[in-house]
């Protein structure tokens, strides 16, 4: 994983965690369900980006192997 991808994933996960747990605050208004949904969305988005990055790596390696056989 590149440093940029790692930084993006860590930042996205942190935003998701902070947003999700802000819902636990008693001072938050009646929009808590929206904030919780946003937190879950951000948490899962990081997982999806990891999967895309893993698949891109596998594809790149597969192409390199095919090119080396020629």
Domain span including residue 31: 3-69
Which residue in the block uniquely carries the two structure tokens 């969305």? 41
Tens of pLDDT along 19-52?
777 777 777 666 667 777 777 887 888 888 889 9
Distances in Å between the Cα of 19 and the Cα atoms of 5, 8, 25 are 21, 16, 11
What pLDDT is recorded for position 57?
A: 94
What pLDDT is recorded for position 64?
A: 95
List the one residue out of 4, 21, 17 whose CA is nearest residue 45.
17
Q: Which residues does 17 contact at the CB level (< 8 Å), separation at least 6?
A: 39, 43
Tell me what the pLDDT averaged over the chain comes to: 83
| pTM score over 0.75 | no
Neighbours of 70 (CB within 10 A): 4
| Structural domain count of the chain | 1
**Across residues 45-64, what is the average pLDDT?**
92
Q: pLDDT-derived band of residue 7, with 50, 70 and 90 as boundaries?
A: confident
């Amino acid at each position: 994983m590149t440093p940029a991808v790692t930084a993006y994933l860590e930042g996205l996960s942190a935003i998701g965690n902070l947003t999700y747990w802000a819902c636990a605050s008693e001072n938050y208004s009646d929009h808590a369900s929206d904030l919780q949904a946003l937190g879950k969305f951000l948490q899962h988005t990081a997982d999806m980006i990891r999967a895309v990055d893993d698949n891109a790596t596998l594809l790149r390696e597969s192409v390199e192997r095919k090119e080396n056989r020629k």
